[in-house]
Structure 1
Amino acid sequence: MLDGYILPKLPSQLEKALHLQKQRERDLLLSTRMPVFDKLMPNYVTASIALSFGGLLNGYDTGSIGAIVHMEQFKSSMGGMSAFITGITVSTIMLTGIIPALFAGHLADKYGRLRLIAPGAFVFGIGALLQATSTQLPQFIVGRAISGAGQGVFFGNITVYITEVAPLRSRGRLSALPQFMATTGVCIGYFACVSTTGQKSSLAWRLPYIVQVAVSAGLTLVCRFLPESPRWLALQGRGDEAQISLTRLDFDLNEARRDFLATVQEQSSLSNWQSFVLLFRRGYRPKTFLALFILSMIQLSGIDAITYYAPSLFDQAGISSTSSSLIASGVSSIAMLLVSIPGFLLADRWGRRTSAISGGLLLAGIMLLMGTLYASGAVTPRSAASWVVVVCVFLFGMIFCATWGIVGKIYASEILPGNTRAAGNSVGMACSFLTNWVVALITPVLLNASAFGAYFLFSGLALFTVGVLAIRMPETRGRSLEDIQASFRRPAQGLLSSLFRQQARTHQGAATAANDSVPALAGENQQEEIELQPTAQGTALARLPSIEAAARGLRVETS
């Protein structure tokens, strides 16, 4: 108030301009907080490594819980547990992650990737703290339920963020970081429990959860200092902020303008509900269903049975002492980690399709061999068959980490369009949590009822997955995220045309002539369907595809 008058409010546009200016100043100030890494690595690598500790949390819990429920100190604190109660205790963290994972992508599309990762990590830490301080089994299960809710919020968005900040030349390696860190976490989790088994008190199983609390707190804090995804900012129409973010991440601006800053202007900005609905519309369904299928079947391969219940599997194979089974589980996790290193480093050199199909065949064969040995009654303590089973457990984990464990999440993030990537990954992550929960719940029951039934089940599921991928999985290695969408913009192919596509490649002359007469699909940015285009009033109008886009959609691919 001045001389009896009330000062008028600033116009809304001016307020927005001032707010944007403050945001830019804040971002420029924060950009000076990462200079120590300039000579070591680009800042987009630093950001990817920092957020990949969310994968470490996931793997650490997976590796430690199987060992913890096997500890005598834990049984003394919580009482004896049946196979079903053990399954409930282990799998609760996945059950409560389903719903948060389902909606995390919608929220991330609206508020940003980092604004979901930070609170998710914080909630995970609260759950870990409850588990560390538990005196009864119900409190322990509630703690795992809370951790699961937090994990459902942050885990899928970590992969989305890394996929969006990574340049084309290193996207495969960086997108594989969360899975690599998860494998590292499994290894650390096992040996953390091995190192505490000498404790006679309940600290033997409480200390691993104290570590979880510390890592969760660190992940929550680091999100405060990282720039938001430039692709997300560009999709929100905040191009200036996207360029600031790109500068902070040491991203090549010319590459950014070529790959996505120009193309995102043509993509519609959709509401959360529209983004979800868009996932299941005609032009998007093949990509959505393939991503959901891959993320679900990765878990149904049996890897969770290996990582969660490795001590029990080794015990069943004849390694009966608690310390020996834990050490064997730890050695198995080391082997998985060592194999993950070349898989991680060579992620951009191996084809996604080749890794997925060859890896699936090997996984199915190993499960079939173990099931056959148990069904024939050949597995007895200290027998040759029991050692074959032990070796097979090692091999299964190693092959999974080198193939499906790396390829699956990368591929699911790559094939989804930018305006539905977070929503699609969240739905996929919810499916992953659901199948993970089912495996963690039923594995101890199946092993208790039939030593071989679980192995035959996982083998059959892996073979089924290979069949689907052989028919419906296009290669994405070495292609920009925008270019990948072109491989799905063509008429649906029948089974025979998919199976005999390799034979069609021999007709190079005809293919070359066809390619010369019809423009290539690479680099197309238009959707072959009606899209929702928002108006200034906030309503969505239908936008028809151009005649040129429709004509391109009629092209018959021969390669």
Structure 2
Amino acid sequence: MKLSSLLQKPPGYMIACMVCSFGGFLFGIDTGIIGPVTVMGDFKNHVVGNPSPTIHGLIVSSILIPAAISSSFFAGRLADALGRPRAIAIGSFIFSLGAALEAASVHVAMFVVGRVVEGIGEGLYLGTLVVYICEVAPPRHRGALTTAPQLLTTLGLMTGFFTCYGSANIPSSFSWRLPFLLLAAYALVFSVAALLWLPASPRWLTLRGRENEAVEAWEKLGVPAADREKILDQLSAQVVEPNPATAVDATGSTLTMTEMAPASRPVQSKTKKSQLRDLFASDARPRLLLAVFLMTMQQLSGIDGVLYYAPLLFQQAGLDSQESAFLASGVSAIVIFAATIPATLWADRWGRRANTIVGGLGMTCTMFLLGSLYAADAVHAGRGAGRWVVLVSIYAFAVLYCISWAVGIKVYAAEIQRPATRARATSIAHSGNWLSNFLVALVTPTLLAESSYGAYFLFGGCTLATVLVCWGFMPETRGRSLDDIDRAFQEKSRVSSSGLKQFARTISRRLLS
């Protein structure tokens, strides 16, 4: 490739997509700083005192439910009324206000209010940014561009951990206020950038009859005429693309095919009642239930428990100082960031079924190994090999998750749905993801306090149960057309149903004999 081609200014749509991807960076930073901040001594002295495990979990998880509510009920309406860039700007500005409130907190109530405000903003902008990318990116580049927010999220996670590592030794409350001040500044910059640099979505303009403005927007974005038609045709056909509005987790694995904002899909004449019937029809219901199960169990694998409370886990493993625990947390973020790059690039080369099952088995083994070490009292501070096995196992678990469940499960949850119900079914599935994410963040400190090994066995058991369900009910979808996926899923359903009936008949005969 010639140097001149490398030095050419990238097209406008690529710049716009990179600006949008910075929203993932904000989410990653918040995830990276909240765990370390809540175990800093000065934070406890100024804000919460010595919180119980339940209060600790509530502080961390209080951002999730507001984010889910604002994403589900308001993000699409705001983007529909004002346009994508303005909705992104408003959401990130509210996020900035929440981070500023956290930085200024003088007691725990003020801090929780800040996280609630932050969550409202997060749900608004995360519910729109990848929709915007889908509406402006040419189909041949859409896959790479829609993975950028995920990669930026893991970069933000790493940045957040090392920000706390650098500020932890400041001898004042500035040690924990500085990370939130920086986050508020980043979010404010992102808000201004979205407002000033992002052209209105041509798709949004077209739906409102503003054809001339749409043409100007296409020109500003530098999208060729042939690609414009493909984008509009695919969106009108309800080819649902990645959107993290209803699926956010701490690894940044948010880029999944889910519900487009109301303004980005065609108006349907069906009533809500008939849409609900379609969603729970006999050929759609098994797919919906499988998607809900997978998306719920993805979080019950314990990944957010590991990432939110990494410093706590490393301290429990025997690292004898807060500085060492923060450094180990930062290293885990580097490992996750590094693993996300090949996982993103090779996502479509690995089979969904094999990737989920093999990755799940690896994650199960690491969780059971961690639980067994603690149950056998083999982990001691300052001595023995047990603590090092724990550290390596935590890193291994995070890597296994990133290269398997982080991407594959969320894509699969959308792929298996019928085209007519994909948006609604995937949205429902991701609601389970939000709820389980909240529960994991809330209860992990309590589980660790009550039993040093119980949390690991619980998460390992959930992962193993998921593997068994996938083995019996999960057909492969990679590289298949929608018709092929329909046939594969119907065949798997018939085989599974036949097997269950045969199993029931066998049990009945044995009981009666």
TM-score (norm 1): 0.72
Does residue 270 of structure 1 match 2:242? no
Alpha-carbon distance, 1:391 to partner = 0.3
Letter aligned with residue 270 of structure 1: Q
Aligned to 1:41: 10
Looking at structure 2, the residues matched to 243 and 351 of structure 1 have their Cα atoms a distance apart, in angstroms, of 40
Looking at structure 1, the residues matched to 149 and 211 of structure 2 have their Cα atoms a distance apart, in angstroms, of 28
Q: How does 1:53-452 map to 2 (within 5 A)?
A: 53-78=22-47, 79-104=49-74, 106-107=76-77, 110-111=80-81, 112-224=83-195, 225-229=197-201, 245-258=217-230, 260-261=232-233, 264=236, 268-270=266-268, 274=272, 277=275, 280-282=279-281, 288-381=288-381, 382-412=383-413, 427-452=428-453
Aligned partners of 1:105 and 1:424 also within 8 Å: no
Aligned partners of 1:157 and 1:426 also within 8 Å: no
SS of alignment partner, residue 63 of structure 2: helix
Alpha-carbon distance, 1:316 to partner = 1.0
SS of alignment partner, residue 62 of structure 2: helix
Alpha-carbon distance, 1:71 to partner = 0.8
Looking at structure 1, the residues matched to 274 and 67 of structure 2 have their Cα atoms a distance apart, in angstroms, of 18
Aligned partners of 1:172 and 1:348 also within 8 Å: no
Aligned partners of 1:177 and 1:344 also within 8 Å: no
Aligned to 2:261: none
Alpha-carbon distance, 1:126 to partner = 1.1
Looking at structure 2, the residues matched to 263 and 144 of structure 1 have their Cα atoms a distance apart, in angstroms, of 34
Looking at structure 2, the residues matched to 98 and 47 of structure 1 have their Cα atoms a distance apart, in angstroms, of 25
Change in CA separation of 1:284 and 1:109 when aligned onto 2, cut-off 3 Å: farther
Change in CA separation of 1:469 and 1:189 when aligned onto 2, cut-off 3 Å: same
Aligned partners of 2:40 and 2:168 also within 8 Å: yes
Q: How many residues align?
A: 460
Greater Cα shift, 107-116 or 82-91: 107-116
Aligned partners of 1:180 and 1:340 also within 8 Å: yes
Aligned partners of 1:55 and 1:178 also within 8 Å: yes
Looking at structure 1, the residues matched to 344 and 43 of structure 2 have their Cα atoms a distance apart, in angstroms, of 35
Q: Deviations over 1:485-531 (max 9, x none)?
A: 8734888444464799xxxxxxxxxxxxxxxxxxxxxxxxxxxxxxx
Aligned partners of 1:107 and 1:272 also within 8 Å: no
Looking at structure 2, the residues matched to 102 and 462 of structure 1 have their Cα atoms a distance apart, in angstroms, of 27
Greater Cα shift, 272-281 or 140-149: 272-281
Alpha-carbon distance, 1:306 to partner = 0.9
Aligned partners of 2:415 and 2:477 also within 8 Å: no
Letter aligned with residue 72 of structure 2: L
Change in CA separation of 1:104 and 1:356 when aligned onto 2, cut-off 3 Å: farther
SS of alignment partner, residue 147 of structure 1: helix
> Aligned to 1:472, which of 471, 474, 478?
474
Aligned partners of 1:297 and 1:465 also within 8 Å: yes
Looking at structure 1, the residues matched to 183 and 356 of structure 2 have their Cα atoms a distance apart, in angstroms, of 32
Change in CA separation of 1:132 and 1:261 when aligned onto 2, cut-off 3 Å: same
Unaligned runs of 5+ in 1: 1-36, 501-559
Looking at structure 1, the residues matched to 339 and 450 of structure 2 have their Cα atoms a distance apart, in angstroms, of 33
Looking at structure 2, the residues matched to 255 and 292 of structure 1 have their Cα atoms a distance apart, in angstroms, of 34
Alpha-carbon distance, 1:259 to partner = 6.5
Unaligned runs of 5+ in 2: 1-5, 239-264, 499-513
Looking at structure 2, the residues matched to 179 and 263 of structure 1 have their Cα atoms a distance apart, in angstroms, of 22
Aligned partners of 2:363 and 2:400 also within 8 Å: yes
Aligned partners of 1:106 and 1:272 also within 8 Å: no
Change in CA separation of 1:109 and 1:129 when aligned onto 2, cut-off 3 Å: closer
Looking at structure 1, the residues matched to 307 and 114 of structure 2 have their Cα atoms a distance apart, in angstroms, of 21
Change in CA separation of 1:119 and 1:384 when aligned onto 2, cut-off 3 Å: same
Change in CA separation of 1:229 and 1:472 when aligned onto 2, cut-off 3 Å: farther
Aligned partners of 2:295 and 2:429 also within 8 Å: yes
Looking at structure 1, the residues matched to 7 and 288 of structure 2 have their Cα atoms a distance apart, in angstroms, of 38
Change in CA separation of 1:202 and 1:41 when aligned onto 2, cut-off 3 Å: same
Letter aligned with residue 432 of structure 2: C
Aligned partners of 2:475 and 2:492 also within 8 Å: no
Looking at structure 1, the residues matched to 162 and 121 of structure 2 have their Cα atoms a distance apart, in angstroms, of 25
Instruction: Determine which structure has more spread, i.e. the larger CA radius of gyration.
Output: 1
Looking at structure 1, the residues matched to 470 and 457 of structure 2 have their Cα atoms a distance apart, in angstroms, of 20
Q: Deviations over 1:262-308 (max 9, x none)?
A: 78279851389849945835376566555544443322211111111
Greater Cα shift, 122-131 or 379-388: 379-388
SS of alignment partner, residue 97 of structure 1: helix
SS of alignment partner, residue 463 of structure 2: helix
Alpha-carbon distance, 1:136 to partner = 1.1
Change in CA separation of 1:391 and 1:175 when aligned onto 2, cut-off 3 Å: same
Alpha-carbon distance, 1:89 to partner = 0.9
Q: What's the C-alpha RMSD, in Å, of the aligned pairs?
A: 3.5
Aligned partners of 1:299 and 1:436 also within 8 Å: yes
Alpha-carbon distance, 1:69 to partner = 0.9
Looking at structure 2, the residues matched to 169 and 460 of structure 1 have their Cα atoms a distance apart, in angstroms, of 40
Letter aligned with residue 405 of structure 1: A
Aligned partners of 2:351 and 2:476 also within 8 Å: no
Aligned partners of 2:96 and 2:118 also within 8 Å: yes
Greater Cα shift, 140-149 or 466-475: 466-475
Change in CA separation of 1:263 and 1:344 when aligned onto 2, cut-off 3 Å: closer
Alpha-carbon distance, 1:398 to partner = 1.8
Letter aligned with residue 404 of structure 2: T
Letter aligned with residue 191 of structure 2: T
Aligned to 2:258: none
Looking at structure 1, the residues matched to 145 and 427 of structure 2 have their Cα atoms a distance apart, in angstroms, of 19
Q: How does 1:529-548 map to 2 (within 5 A)?
A: none
Looking at structure 2, the residues matched to 475 and 469 of structure 1 have their Cα atoms a distance apart, in angstroms, of 13
Alpha-carbon distance, 1:87 to partner = 0.8
Looking at structure 1, the residues matched to 202 and 417 of structure 2 have their Cα atoms a distance apart, in angstroms, of 17
Looking at structure 1, the residues matched to 290 and 135 of structure 2 have their Cα atoms a distance apart, in angstroms, of 20
Looking at structure 2, the residues matched to 90 and 386 of structure 1 have their Cα atoms a distance apart, in angstroms, of 26
Letter aligned with residue 261 of structure 1: D
Change in CA separation of 1:262 and 1:463 when aligned onto 2, cut-off 3 Å: closer
Letter aligned with residue 388 of structure 1: V
TM-score (norm 2): 0.78
